[in-house]
Structure 1
Amino acid sequence: MAILNKITLVLASSLSISAMAAEFSFDRPGAGFGTGITPVGQLAWEQGLPSASYTETTVDGAKEKTVTLNGDMLFRTGLTSSMELQLGWAGPAWTQTKYKGEKHDDSGLGDVSIGIKKAIDLKDDKLSMAVLAQAVIATGNEGFTEEDDIYSIGTSLDYAYNDLVNTGITMNYAVQDGHWSVTAVPTVGYKIAGNLSGFSEFIYSKTESQDYEYGLGSGLIYALNDRTQIDGSIGVDLSGQDRSYTAGLGISFLF
């Protein structure tokens, strides 16, 4: 589940929920990223309030339970009408581990990331695509860092089936310390009522010399207005013997 948590904290959904121009969408929440581009001269701020993970594993016959909270954030600004710059930070984080009746608390700062997202014009009103090149720089404190930098290239494809339902898939290829991984995130987004929307996603990940990892995620998104949304999401790991869950609340603004 470690890879799924990393991908989840960095990243976002292929669901477009903004009532503004169709070419813009917030990237929260979810494990993929949207095809929308932030307009030139404007800034999108996407903030976790916070993001959380829970893992329960067995060590020497005893259960070890770990809870992690972090205030991840992403800033996006348009460079051209089809390209944007992204700056991210895993933010301040706190973790608590319980094992054999003892608790251990720790806190620190996470890694930073930088990326460039480019929209691809497919000459289709219903089909949109974007490519994201990103680097996660391992600048965080011990216990809250990836330890080695991660370089990735991802594609996101979104299809507006009708006014109520859209589907999409994000494919991400990453390399860390010479080891490659691939992550696929098919997503379906749906309008529920008024400004309330939802999404569901399946997460598949494979890293060299490691087992396959699978997960499910779902969430709700409420558009307060054309420039602000709030979101909530949950996720569960379906692979391995350990119990592992993710959850998060977030808010996003367009300035």
Structure 2
Amino acid sequence: MNNRLKITILTSAILASSSIFADDFSFDRPGTGFGTSITPVGSLAWEQGLPTVEYSKANISNDQTQNVSLQEDMLLRTGLTKDLELQLGWDGPSWLRTTQNGKKTTTNGLGDMSVGLKKAIDLHDDRMSMALLGQATIATGNYAFSNHDSIYALASTVQYAQNDILTTGITMRYEIQNSDWAVTAVPTLSYKLSNKWSGYSEFVYRKQESEHIQTSLATGVMYAVNNRMQLDASIGAGLSGDVPDYKGGFGVSFLF
């Protein structure tokens, strides 16, 4: 076998594996829920916010307060086995501007870090898939951008492909922080718009111990630049409480 033939066979194998790779793997950005796919062993997924923007406004006893924040969150994922991956997250550099009765104050700093393990569960079903995620968020950030106490969470996600276009799913997340429990439910619709464009819509329900119920809606689109790169944009709005709040942003994800 001459060298040219060897190179041709090797190139064909790489291209074939790249095509399979694209079909089996998906990024978790954007959205509150997460997918069921696992990063292949020896590969690294980098999911980066560019950034996420949040706005809230309160008017309590004539005390008008507006908050605008920017956050460049990041998530790294790498496969340990074919059905298990390690996740390292960072809320990243953040910026906050507060306007209270016309007076503006600005602060910036770094957010918390997290580590997690994601495990795919084989349901022996061509249409249904499932994954579990154990995660610890460590309060390493600056005061204005930290949870102040570590959070330990266990989450599950289940997805069902209704057809080639529509997939339904739900993520359930249980958290404990300083002996206080919280539960979050995120039903999601994912849809394929074209070969490169896809989208999602989600409803987020969250109940934290001794706190009011929080609900929100969000939607977004994703564009597959190629097999290993994705761009995304999303927007959402809170539905509960007297304080209007909105969230949106852009992101990019790479697969190495």
Same fold, judged at TM 0.5 (above): yes
Give the unaligned 5+ runs of structure 2.
Answer: 1-18
Going by fraction, where is helix more abundant, 1 or 2?
2
How far has the Cα of 1:101 moved from its partner? 1.4
1:23 counterpart residue number: 24
Deviations 1:187-227 (A, max 9, x none): 00111123111110000011111111111000000000111
Shift of 1:48: 0.2
> Deviation digits for residues 174-196 of structure 1, max 9, x if unmatched?
00111000000000011112311
Q: Tell me, what secondary structure is at the counterpart of 1:158? A: strand
1:240-251 matches, within 5 Å, as 240-251=241-252
Q: How does 1:38-53 map to 2 (within 5 A)?
A: 38-53=39-54
Aligned mates of 1:32, 1:19 — CA distance in 2: 24
Describe the superposition over 1:134-186 as per-residue Cα deviations: whole angstroms up to 9, x where unpaired: 00000001111000000000000011111111010000000011100000000
Percent of counterpart pairs with the same letter? 54
**Higher relative contact order, chain-length normalized (CA < 8 Å, sep 6+):** 1
AA paired with 2:103? E
Paired residue type of 2:117: I
- Does the CA-based 8 Å contact 1:96-1:106 persist in structure 2? yes
* Map of 2:234 onto structure 1: 233
CA pair 19-72 structure 1, distance change in 2 beyond 3 A: farther
Please state whether the residue corresponding to 2:193 is helix, strand or coil. strand
> Bigger shift: 187-196 or 127-136?
187-196
Match of 1:83 in 2: 84
Could you report, residue by residue, the CA deviation over 1:48-97 in whole angstroms, capped at 9, with x for unpaired residues?
00011111012431321100001100000000000000000000000001
Q: Does 1:218 align with 2:219?
A: yes
Give the distance between the partners of 2:32 and 2:96, measured in 1 at CA: 22
The TM-score with structure 2 as length reference comes to 0.91
Q: Is the 8 A contact 1:110 1:145 kept in 2?
A: yes
Contact 2:74 2:89 in 1 (8 A): yes
TM-score with structure 1 setting the length:
0.91
- CA displacement 1:107-153 (0-9 Å, x = unmatched): 00000000000000000111100000000000001111000000000
- Counting only pairs closer than 5 Å after superposition, residues 65-214 of structure 1 correspond to structure 2 as 65-214=66-215
Q: Which amino acid aligns with 1:211?
A: H
RMSD: 1.2
Per the alignment, do residues 28 and 19 of structure 1 end up closer, same or farther by CA in structure 2, a change over 3 Å counting?
Answer: farther
**One-letter identity of the residue aligned with 2:76:** F
Count of residues in Structure 1 that have an aligned counterpart in Structure 2: 238
CA contact (8 A) 1:19 1:226 kept: no
Q: Which 4+ residue blocks in structure 1 deviate beyond 4 angstroms?
A: none
Separation in 2 of the partners of 1:19 and 1:138? 39
Give the secondary-structure state (helix, strand or coil) at the position aligned to 1:193. coil
Cα distance in 2, alignment partners of residues 118 and 20 from structure 1: 18
State whether residues 45 and 253 of structure 1, in contact with CA within 8 Å, keep that contact through their aligned partners in structure 2.
yes
